[in-house]
Structure 1
Amino acid sequence: MRVMGHPANHGHVRHLQIARRSSRILDGRSTASAPRGCDYLVLGGGASGSVLASRLSEDPTVRVVVVEAGGLDNSWLLRVPAAGFIAASAARFNWNFVTEPIPALNGREMVWLSGKVLGGSSSINAMVYTRGHSSEYEAWRQMGCDGWGFSDLLPYFKRLEANVRGEGPWHGGSGPVKIRPAAPRLKICDAFLEAASASGFPVLDDLNCNAVEGFGYYDINVDRGVRMSAPAAYLRPVLDRPNLTVITGAPALRVTIEDGRATGAEVLIGGEPTRIEAEREVIISAGAVKSPQLLMLSGIGPAEELSRHAIRVLVESPGVGANLQNHVCYRPRYLCSHPVTARRHVEPLGALKAGIAYALARRGPLAESYGSAGGFFRTDDRLETADAQVVLISALPPNPALNATRMMDMLPKEHGFAFTIYQGSPSSRGEIRLRSGDPLDSPIIRASYLSHPA
């Protein structure tokens, strides 16, 4: 199949034919054993891409190729749960996006975290497993999204879970994602939940029971002391399938389109734009920032925006890059006069005990998320459901203003804690726009936080 691409900005494009079947993870920085085609080409190996690749490759008659811009998720920082706060801040696992100046925040630019590694943000987040309230999904249904109400989706939520609670009304017991309640055993967490109860909030054993408000220990996706990321749950168990190939370190440059049909993609492999053909479908699963950028670079998006960057308009679609929304958060920090926080686990004796417990049994403080306790609450009693979320950070997190790069600089120097307070269901809407026609440039992120009066 011949594919009409637009390689002018990236030199010669190598045209690859259909690959033989072999199961492997390839390093896209090298041209060795590069794939030559497939039936389904998945651009982005994050949470959704991992699930899609696993499910599609269940059919042994089709070939599935996953292309991921980031590297392998084999660093201990991505596996040890307590190291999650370091992983989230590490430049090598992150796209390092920064928003445009935000008017409502006095012109501040803000970091936009997004995982650039196999597994995407599922490999660097706090492993907190929450679904949101049923009313959120019912709102989708009321907007015309039939099949997306809570009763429609609950069977699928249960299907993905292997929850230690077992099969029940709210949870599944035999799915691929291992789920358990956090168990930090820290006095600061106990004090936090006691304070929530004293303030009139219910303290729950399960924050995924669809309560209007409540505090407690979060469920976390951790299995036997190791982060249960999307690749851990969906990709690695099926890598022996001969029809599945994963390529890391290979940024997608654009989708190739011929006669109105996506026929493949140009991918940077071994430093050269390489064309991979897809006999059936090209699936873009590159996240909220990179997916619209990739569409626009491929000629799909607002005509005015594409023309501004000399990109041929193949499909005019004004909605591409629009309706961007994110949960803006605030993180107050507090010093603590007593040694009741996770800081004690980085002191010499505490670190030794934690290391031994983890090395011998994958247990102890290193097997826990740094955001173990929290809850959902209403900022206005007139609201029917919670509109805000809080996560207790059981030690002082790294100060982003310090731009720390060494691990020792990221560890807390004194006892303290922090809260991450999220705005739920924001009404403000932003947009993604192209910075240039170069796929390797970061796009423009106009977050527009707090721009809506509600």
Structure 2
Amino acid sequence: MGEFDVVVIGGGSGGSAVAGRLAQSGKTVCLLEAGGRNTGLRVTTPGLFAVPNPKANYMYETVPQKGLNGRVGYQPRGKGLGGSSAINAMVYIRGNRWDYDNWASLGCEGWAYDDVLPYFRKAEHNTRGQSEYHGGDGPLWVSDQHYANPASHAFVEAATQLQLPRNDDFNGARQEGFGIFQVTQKDGERWSSSRAYIDPLRGSKNLDVRIGVTVQKLEIDDGRIIGVTYSVGKRSRTVKARGGVVLSAGTFNTPQILMLSGIGPGEHLRDHGIEIVADKPAVGSDLQDHIDYVSSWRSEDAQLIGSTFAGTLRMAKALIEHRRKRTGIMTTPYAEAGGFWTVMPDAPAPDIQWHFVPAMLEDHGRTKVKGYGFSLHACVLRPESRGTVRLASRDASDGPRIDPNFLADDRDIATLREGVRLSQRIAGSPALQAFDPRDRHPVDLDDNAQLDEMIRNRADTVYHPVGTCRMGPDESDVVDPQLKLRGLENLWIADASIMPRIVSGNTNAPSIMIGERCAEFVNTVLDR
């Protein structure tokens, strides 16, 4: 088949949701995905996600970051069905009510918290059951952790010893507090967006999934998107879309595909010899990401996850248990616990999120640290710094040029500084001191200059880039509040790139919600 009602580019968090819902509604859908099916052991076993997997991870890097003392940052992004939901820490967080109400105040009509909550609930199958805030029969399974490390529970207790509140549901009535995260798992296995939305439709006549393809460009005729040209190896093919195209390639690759198609900043396109179809400076601009600092402590306590002979043997036995029963410590998301709190005056909502890991984490887990220990991430939830995504070349197989511009705005490092200080206070509480931790990166916390230098030498992303195809009410915005591209017909965008402001939390659940909403918007247009 060379013609469909809808062509969806990208089978990640948003793309799987929109493709699955459209196919369920009776539309014929062609889903184009660069990677594979992501059904192997390394994807489905939660505790194996920390093992680098180039088949499922683009493993992008940034340009040198001035705010990080010239260092190059690491930007892992999911490749294959499920996208980043196939390689992430499975933490189920929606963001704060304030985030969505703020979107609405910026002119994104229909995106306030009360507007989006029904779509979060529609997507969700929470093992706690249906409630005012949660869905009980959606395709995306959300589960409690049953084998969290003792240190993760100690972290929550350590926070309460500082009179910080406990929170057993970060997606309920309030976000503030500390607790054990719920995760996107079903019966002890990772439950990615493709397992939720695409796998149940396997064999359906309405859904044609094409993997291992490289999208070259959108096909445009007289101001309308009519199809997509992609390559498989050296062969090029074009698939036509009667009703339209949904672009869900993610915050980095969505603007890249638009620019390769002549939609983007005019001067930049001319520099690469690309004919301008629509001069849109906002494409690839307004990149926002959660800058994150990881504090780390060494311990001799073998309850922790450790890179030792005994620790490796323990994980090997746990893998066998997991293959037999889907139970045990290989269900770990590593970021087992966390919290949200306000550290700066006048913040409208919590401005720091913590992720607690019962292991020593260095360089995104790419560098092994011998021994036992624990780590505590602190990330700035609403950074003021803005970056860009631009073409590195006209070759679609080349990764884009990514510049998050981390810590360019002094307000970000001021907030992160206070987050790191609170991390140290939590680690100093009795519950975590019981593990006899030794700080691996000691610093004078009262010396702003010394603390800032350490942050600039060690901070990096916590993997939540958004904003490069922002939604808004003006012609200068990339998409309108129905996620339609402004300036051309028959194109919608459904991924984190449309966020006008980054949400205060992990971005996987919001991306799936965006996919749910986009499917409804597309159906409304096609059913007229």
Whether TM exceeds 0.5 here: the answer is yes
For 1:182-193, what aligned pairs fall within 5 Å after superposition?
182-193=145-156
Q: Note if 1:63 corresponds to 2:28.
A: yes
Paired amino acid for 1:69: A
Q: 1:387 aligns with which of 335, 346, 351?
A: 351
**Which residue is equivalent to 1:47?**
13
Q: CA deviation at 1:340?
A: 2.4
**Which residue is equivalent to 1:440?**
397
**Which residue is equivalent to 1:147?**
110
Q: Note if 1:198 corresponds to 2:164.
A: no
Q: 2:41 aligns with which of 73, 76, 86?
A: 76
The answer on whether the counterparts of 1:341 and 1:415 sit within 8 Å (CA) in structure 2 is yes
Q: Note if 1:131 corresponds to 2:84.
A: no
Distance in 2, matches of 1:451 and 1:102, equals 9
3-state DSSP of counterpart to 1:139: helix
Paired amino acid for 1:182: Q
Change (3 A) 1:80 1:307: same
Distance in 2, matches of 1:272 and 1:240, equals 26
For 1:243-262, what aligned pairs fall within 5 Å after superposition?
243-262=206-225
Q: CA deviation at 1:420?
A: 1.9
The answer on whether the counterparts of 2:315 and 2:330 sit within 8 Å (CA) in structure 1 is no
Q: 1:265 aligns with which of 228, 233, 251?
A: 228
3-state DSSP of counterpart to 2:63: coil
Change (3 A) 1:349 1:240: same
Q: CA deviation at 1:99?
A: 0.9
The answer on whether the counterparts of 2:169 and 2:175 sit within 8 Å (CA) in structure 1 is no
Q: CA deviation at 1:321?
A: 0.8
Distance in 1, matches of 2:25 and 2:133, equals 30
Q: CA deviation at 1:165?
A: 1.4
The answer on whether the counterparts of 2:65 and 2:71 sit within 8 Å (CA) in structure 1 is yes
Distance in 2, matches of 1:222 and 1:434, equals 36
3-state DSSP of counterpart to 2:24: coil
Distance in 2, matches of 1:357 and 1:241, equals 34
1:386-444 deviation line (CA, Å, top 9, x unaligned): 1011111112235459x56xxxxx5x641111112211011111111111211112111
Runs (5+) with no aligned partner, structure 2: 412-528
The answer on whether the counterparts of 2:98 and 2:348 sit within 8 Å (CA) in structure 1 is no
Q: CA deviation at 1:278?
A: 1.4
Change (3 A) 1:413 1:307: same
3-state DSSP of counterpart to 2:141: strand
- Which of 183-192 and 166-175 deviates more? 183-192
Paired amino acid for 1:65: C
**Which residue is equivalent to 1:322?**
285
Distance in 1, matches of 2:273 and 2:213, equals 25
Paired amino acid for 1:50: S
**Which residue is equivalent to 2:341?**
377
Distance in 1, matches of 2:362 and 2:72, equals 18
Runs (5+) with no aligned partner, structure 1: 1-18, 20-35, 405-409
Distance in 1, matches of 2:345 and 2:165, equals 15
**Which residue is equivalent to 1:426?**
383
Q: Note if 1:297 corresponds to 2:249.
A: no
**Which residue is equivalent to 1:85?**
50
Change (3 A) 1:355 1:443: closer
TM-score, normalised to structure 2, is 0.74
Change (3 A) 1:400 1:59: closer
3-state DSSP of counterpart to 1:57: helix
Distance in 2, matches of 1:375 and 1:418, equals 14
Change (3 A) 1:99 1:355: closer
The answer on whether the counterparts of 1:93 and 1:116 sit within 8 Å (CA) in structure 2 is yes
The answer on whether the counterparts of 1:265 and 1:277 sit within 8 Å (CA) in structure 2 is yes
3-state DSSP of counterpart to 2:269: helix
**Which residue is equivalent to 1:359?**
323
The answer on whether the counterparts of 2:302 and 2:311 sit within 8 Å (CA) in structure 1 is no
Distance in 1, matches of 2:346 and 2:219, equals 51
Q: CA deviation at 1:341?
A: 0.9
Q: CA deviation at 1:190?
A: 2.1
3-state DSSP of counterpart to 1:332: strand
Q: CA deviation at 1:295?
A: 0.3
Q: Note if 1:397 corresponds to 2:354.
A: no
Matched-pair identity in %: 35
**Which residue is equivalent to 2:170?**
207
1:164-218 deviation line (CA, Å, top 9, x unaligned): 1111111111111111122334221122111100111111221222425200000
Distance in 1, matches of 2:348 and 2:274, equals 47
Q: CA deviation at 1:299?
A: 0.7
Distance in 1, matches of 2:228 and 2:75, equals 26
**Which residue is equivalent to 1:31?**
none
Paired amino acid for 1:327: H
Change (3 A) 1:427 1:79: same
- Which of 442-451 and 348-357 deviates more? 348-357
**Which residue is equivalent to 2:311?**
347
Distance in 1, matches of 2:327 and 2:309, equals 13
TM-score, normalised to structure 1, is 0.86
1:279-299 deviation line (CA, Å, top 9, x unaligned): 221111100000001001001
Change (3 A) 1:352 1:100: closer
Q: CA deviation at 1:368?
A: 2.6
Distance in 2, matches of 1:309 and 1:295, equals 13
Change (3 A) 1:233 1:337: same
Q: Note if 1:217 corresponds to 2:180.
A: yes
Q: CA deviation at 1:345?
A: 10
3-state DSSP of counterpart to 1:193: helix
Change (3 A) 1:270 1:438: closer
**Which residue is equivalent to 1:102?**
65
Change (3 A) 1:269 1:212: closer
The answer on whether the counterparts of 1:301 and 1:318 sit within 8 Å (CA) in structure 2 is yes
Paired amino acid for 1:93: A
1:62-121 deviation line (CA, Å, top 9, x unaligned): 3210001112202211100111222xx322221121111111111111011211121110
3-state DSSP of counterpart to 2:111: coil
**Which residue is equivalent to 2:142?**
179
Distance in 2, matches of 1:445 and 1:355, equals 36
The answer on whether the counterparts of 1:345 and 1:351 sit within 8 Å (CA) in structure 2 is no
Change (3 A) 1:370 1:212: closer
The answer on whether the counterparts of 1:162 and 1:179 sit within 8 Å (CA) in structure 2 is yes
Change (3 A) 1:301 1:400: same
